[in-house]
Amino acid sequence: MAKQVISFHYRLTDSKGKEVDSSLDSEPLAFLEGSGQIIPGLEGTLLTLGIGDKKTVTVPYKDAYGAYDQSLIVQVPRDKFPAQEVKVGDMFQVQNGDHPQVVMVVEIKDGNVTIDANHPLAGQDLTFDVEITARRDATADEILHGHAHGPHGHHHH
Ligand code: ZN
């Protein structure tokens, strides 16, 4: 079967049942099958659904954002820290090799800033309430570009 472009509404809750993200106040999310835009544990289920189908999908952390890694918590001397103002809960984007990575300040103590580079949802089993709003074969251009095109996908200007 041709690669699919699927649009869906979702509501994401973490392992404590707290809502983390939702598309319900905006447009559905469109993605191209196999483009890596959707976590693998969710994409596999979405591909089995048809237009109008609703489903609750629980994705174990290993198929979502991975295990929580204690070694990603590091201390940086305050004077080596780039920002002027730092407080607990601040998020910063840093360069990790070729990849931008978001880190969060978790503690400031004795001249050191402790940062946590885990994904905020690392170690969490995630629950998605999804509803498929559209589904079609991908166009040749979309497959070439590696992403879905409008109305809810990527727009070229
Ligand atoms: Zn494109």
**Residues 115-156 pLDDT 10s:** 999 988 999 999 999 999 999 999 999 999 999 998 766 777
Kindly state the tokens that stand for 53. 């189908």
The reported pLDDT for the residue numbered 99 is 75
Q: What band does 1 get if pLDDT is binned at 50, 70 and 90?
A: confident
Q: What pLDDT score does 40 carry?
A: 86
How many angstroms is it from 37 CA to the middle of ligand 1? 14
Give CA–CA dist 105/47, Å, rounded. 38
pLDDT at 153: 65
- The pLDDT of residue 28 is 95
Span 47-56, mean pLDDT? 97
Tokens of 36: 């890596």
Looking at residue 30, its pLDDT comes to 94
The Cα–Cα gap between 118 and 121 comes to 8
Q: Is pTM, for the whole model, over 0.85?
A: no
Q: Where are the beta strands (DSSP E) in 18-155?
A: 19-22, 29-32, 54-59, 73-77, 91-96, 99-109, 112-116, 126-137
- Average pLDDT over every residue of 26-49: 93
The Å distance, Cα 2 to ligand 1 centre, comes to 18
- CB count in 10 Å sphere of residue 68: 15
Q: How confident is the model at residue 100 (pLDDT cuts 50, 70, 90)?
A: confident
- Whether the per-residue pLDDT at 84 is higher than 80: the answer is no
Residue among 133, 101, 156 nearest 31 (CA)? 133
Does 107 have pLDDT greater than 60? yes
Banded model confidence at residue 101, pLDDT cuts 50, 70, 90? confident
Tell the residue number behind the tokens 């994904």, with chain if given.
119
From the CA of 25, how far away is ligand 1's center (Å)?
A: 25
32 C-alpha to ligand 1 centroid (Å): 11
- In angstroms, what is the span from residue 138 Cα to ligand 1's centroid? 11
- Residues 116, 90: Cα–Cα separation, whole Å: 11
Q: Which residue has the higher pLDDT, 82 or 27?
A: 27
127 Cα–ligand 1 center, Å: 30
In this predicted structure, the answer to whether residue 157 has a pLDDT above a threshold of 60 is: no
